A and B are shown apart, each in its own frame.
Chain A
Amino acid sequence: MIVAEQKPMEEIAEMIKDFNKILILGCGGCVSVCLSGGEKEVGIMASALKMFVKNNQNRDIEIKEMTISRQCDWEYFDMVKDAMAEVEACVCIGCGAGVQGLVDVYPNVPIFPGLNTGGLAVGKVPGVWEERCAGCGNCILHLTGGLCPIARCSKHILNGPCGGSEKGMCEVDPKTIECVWHLIYERLKSIGKLDNIYKIMPMKDWSTSSDGGVRHLTREDMAKLDAEEEHKKNVELEKKAEEAEAAAKSQG
């Protein structure tokens, strides 16, 4: 899931310093599961923010609290229509995608991020999450025993482990970061696929990651309507061009 953590109160208070009536909008998706942006956290943030503002900006603010099922799907945004009309600004505590989903739908309301989004992670033990996927758009897990060096190697190298691997840990932080290449080695050994890392892995094609520009995902069977409309438009354009050509010929 997508993990995130709350921004410092001081930073959020600075964002909303010109507003008196605010909506704090939570998300019932990933950030609820990682305890940073769900209904409960909306309550905590609302209370803490009110007190912070009173204490540091010497004023009272009114905060509306709401949480929608997901902030990454347009069909849920309609539910906050009335609330958005009432408030002067919104602090969104979904992931970065959630903030921008709202921005698309409510162009006239200032919308601020209340969280710092931290990647695609799994829960290791209750209260602890660790990054697992970098969303590079070109998965190589079949070659690396199901362990990702792009997300989990500090240098994202494809021919590891580097010289900084000691006793299974990474030199960047030997206390908390495991050397994923050590894990890959052990894993490939146990499934009899060591050949995979005896070969040189070629340079990665990063054009499928965000380096290639904003990525779009289209399921054509779902997006059919648009495609049909586009087709109709194209037919019309062709027709017009033919007519213009015919007209030019008859004149000439």
Chain B
Amino acid sequence: MSDHQEQVAVKEKPAEGFVPKIVAFTCNFCAYAAADLAGSTRTEYPVNIKLIRVPCTGRVDVVHLLKAFEHGADGVYVAGCLEGNCHFAEGNYWAKRRVRYAKKILDEIGVGSRRLEMFNLSAAMFGRFVEVANIMNDRITEMGPSPLNKK
């Protein structure tokens, strides 16, 4: 069912002027710092991405990811430290597994797993931060609004 809906979502022309609501859970020690650096260097990234600072992506639970969608997000991503470089040893591995689990639920409920992703970067990689933001913004814009927001 979810695949079908996703196909429909992709096929449909994005609504005129559709700006997706995207929530990014960003780790304090890497992605959030990278966003800060992007700001300092005046590098632009999509304004419709709401950053949520977390002490570690290991703090992000499945229920947080689901709640974001429930409350209107069209896309969600988690941005944590490079694998092996987590400030708390393995918080980003936990996040990776939880994202995988939440993706399964999203497929099951018909929202679609492509609306959720996990990325890894370091505090210095502000270019990558912007790139990731654009990847998600382009993907979700193309997919159109979350099926929950169409109803």
Q: Flag whether A97 is at the interface (Cβ < 8 A).
A: no
CB pair A48–B105 under 8 Å, yes or no, is yes
What is the CA–CA distance of A56 and B109 in the complex, to the nearest angstrom? 8
User: What size tier do the contact residues of chain B reach?
Assistant: 10 to 19
Is A50 within 8 A of B70, CB to CB?
A: yes
- Within 8 Å of chain B (Cβ to Cβ): is A52? yes
Are A9 and B108 interface neighbours, CB within 8 A? yes
Binds B, one of A39-47, A100-108, A131-139: A39-47
Q: Which of A1-52 contact B (CB under 8 A)?
A: 8-10, 40, 43-44, 47-48, 50-52
What chain A residues lie within 8 Å of B62 (beta carbons)?
A: 44
B111 within 8 A of A: yes
- Residue of B whose beta carbon sits closest to that of A53: B109
| Contact yes or no, A55 B61, CB < 8 A | no
A190 on interface, CB distance cutoff 8 Å: no
Question: Contacting B105 at CB < 8 Å: which of A10, A43, A44, A50?
Answer: A44
Say whether chain B's binding surface is mostly helix, strand, loop, or mixed: helix
Whether A218 sits at the interface, judged by CB under 8 Å, is no
Residues of chain B within 8 A (CB-CB) of A40 are 61, 63
A43–B61 Cα gap in the complex (Å)? 11
A232 at the interface (CB under 8 A from B): no
Q: Output the least CB separation between B69 and chain A (Å).
A: 6
Tell me if A51 and B61 are in contact (CB < 8 A).
no
Q: Is A224 an interface residue (CB 8 A)?
A: no
On whether the beta carbons of A43 and B63 are closer than 8 Å, the reply is yes
Please, which residues of chain A bring their CB within 8 A of the CB of B127? none
A58 within 8 A of B: yes
With an 8 A cutoff between CB atoms, is A233 at the interface? Answer: no
CA A130 – CA B66 in complex, angstroms?
29
Q: How far is the CA of A44 from the CA of B66 in the complex (A)?
A: 7
B109 A9 Cβ-Cβ under 8 A: yes
Q: Whole-angstrom distance between the alpha carbons of A50 and B67 in the complex?
A: 10
Q: How would residues 54 to 94 of chain B score, 1 for a CB under 8 Å from any chain A CB and 0 otherwise?
A: 00000001110011011000000000000000000000000
Asked if B110 is at the interface of the complex by the 8 Å CB criterion, the answer is: yes
Q: Of B5, B63, B70, which one neighbours A51 at CB under 8 angstroms? A: B70
The complex places the Cα of A54 from the Cα of B146 at a distance, in Å, of: 12
Q: Does B108 contact A56, Cβ atoms closer than 8 Å?
A: no
B61 touching A48 by the CB < 8 A rule?
no
**Residue contact B105 to A56, C-beta cutoff 8 Å:** no
Q: Using Cβ atoms and an 8 Å threshold, which residues of chain A touch B66?
A: 44, 47-48, 51
Residues from chain B with a CB closer than 8 A to the CB of A10 are 108
Q: Which residues of A contact B61 (CB under 8 A)?
A: 40
A55 touching B108, Cβ below 8 Å: no
Known contacts A40-B63, A43-B63, A44-B63; is A52 also within 8 Å of B151 by CB? no
- Taken together as a complex, chains A and B put the C-alpha atoms of A167 and B101 apart, in Å, by 34
Most B-side CB within 10 Å, residue of A9, A47, A56, A58: A47
Partner of A56 from the list B1, B63, B69 (CB cut-off 8 Å) is B1
Would you call A52 and B110 a contact (CB within 8 A)?
A: yes
Which residues on B are within 8 Å of A, measured CB to CB?
A: 1, 5, 61-63, 66-67, 69-70, 105, 108-111, 147-148, 151
